[in-house]
Amino acid sequence: MEVPTFASRFDASLVLGKKVAGYSPESHGAALLLDDGTALGLIAEEHSAGHWFEVFTLGIRTDAHERAWKLFPVPLSVEQVTSLWRFEWLVEGASGPTLGGNPKTQYAGRGPIPAAALSAARVEAGVVLKCASGNRVFAAASATSPFAVDVAVDQREISKTLNDFLNTYEA
């Protein structure tokens, strides 16, 4: 099976070398606040990867929405942006009750993609911002909720969040 690749349009130049003063988690999307007052929206961008199969890459854009910000004690100076890739695939059937006939289940993780997969894709779905202070910020298109963006800033939870991003789970 040919596995298409979906690259993110995340523009790292919007954060690289900048200071992030805070963030705003929301049910759909999230945002980063730069110390100059610029708001950057983090969005999940939809792509069709096959019949009944959509994947989401992480995008970023300047944003003018009013938000409730969670400010960091000290702005974080972003020194490096690392892209995060995962595989996503679709299989016949479901492990629980469904509505309608012919159910499908979507998975995301490091793989391997099973031979029984109907469709599969390699997706650039997240980033880790590494900061001068040693802190990191994780952001990724959710694999469990369409159009949602997961953000983690608690340094104790970043390793678990990264592991969850790569380990297989149902979407």
Q: Where are the domains of the chain?
A: 5-170
Q: Which residues contact 128 (CB under 8 A, 6 or more apart)?
A: 81, 82, 84, 136, 137, 138, 158, 162
159 φψ region: left (φ > 0), alpha (ψ -120 to 50), beta (else): alpha
* Stretch 3-19: mean pLDDT: 96
Rounded to the nearest integer, the mean pLDDT of the chain is: 91
- Lowest-pLDDT range of 23-27, 95-99, 103-107, 108-112: 95-99
CB 3 within 8 A of CB 113: yes
Rounded CA separation 12/10 (Å): 6
**Predicted pLDDT of residue 64:** 80
Residue 97 pLDDT greater than 80, yes or no? no
CA 83/CA 104 separation, integer angstroms: 28
Q: Using the predicted structure, report yes or no on whether residue 101 has a pLDDT greater than 90.
A: no
Is the dihedral angle over the CA atoms 45, 161, 89, 96 positive or is it negative? negative
